[in-house]
A and B are shown apart, each in its own frame.
Chain A
Amino acid sequence: DAGITQSPRYKITETGRQVTLMCHQTWSHSYMFWYRQDLGHGLRLIYYSAAADITDKGEVPDGYVVSRSKTENFPLTLESATRSQTSVYFCASSQLLGYTDTQYFGPGTRLTVL
């Protein structure tokens, strides 16, 4: 199906392990984003990408790494997971960032770090 997908949907890992969350979109949107959603903080932007090979930090980038070798994929890696990274992670995409361009969100990945 067309759209934006995330995998896995649920993940349990241990402190110190490396974890990669995948995001794939079929619209060829230029922009892609990673957010985390936590009670008491709402959604916060981790990283975003304006195009393949162009990424930039958001509000809470520490402890995360992103790459974008292809327009359709935007993986998020936690190099050494910590308990504070337990959260729900959402990927989103947008064609452009003009006045009328909305973001389309994936279903989310619920990550638990033990």
Chain B
Amino acid sequence: KQEVTQIPAALSVPEGENLVLNCSFTDSAIYNLQWFRQDPGKGLTSLLLIQSSQREQTSGRLNASLDKSSGRSTLYIAASQPGDSATYLCAVKDYGQNFVFGPGTRLSVLP
């Protein structure tokens, strides 16, 4: 059974820092991997989707990498801002219709 973990569970950084969030999964047979953002009391917003054949995706200050063989993905946030404060979740999709989410990393960016 696919399991997804995220480290750290929570992170607090001063504004302007570059930071890395980690996601690990146990089964490398994935279809794609997505990073989501969740604001308190809100739904999830997709940030980046990496296909199984890709190594990374970039969107603005965000860069996500994927290493299927080691079962890892990282989300890199450059020059963090207070508006980046949220919970970040990764999710993997297998070749069935199963989506497995990690528990999330709660990020606080202090002004």
Contact = CB atoms under 8 A, between A and B. Distances in A.
Contact of A107 (B32, B42, B89): B42
Interface in B86-111: 89, 91, 93, 97-99, 101-104
Contacts of B91: 43
A23 to B, nearest CB: 11
B103 A42 contact: yes
A105 B45 contact: yes
A99 B104 contact: no
Interface stretch (B12-20, B46-54, B60-68, B74-82): B46-54
Interface in A77-95: 90, 92
A43 B89 contact: yes
Interface residues of A, number: 25
A102 B97 contact: no
A105 B98 contact: no
B98 A42 contact: no
A42 B4 CA distance: 10
B83 interface: no
Interface in B32-59: 32, 34, 36, 41-46, 49, 51-53
B101 A43 contact: yes
Contacts of B102: 42
Contacts of B89: 42-43
Instruction: For the complex of A and B, list the 10 residue pairs with the smallest distance between their C-beta atoms, beginning with the closest.
Output: A105-B43, A43-B101, A102-B46, A105-B44, A99-B51, A42-B103, A42-B101, A107-B43, A102-B49, A106-B43
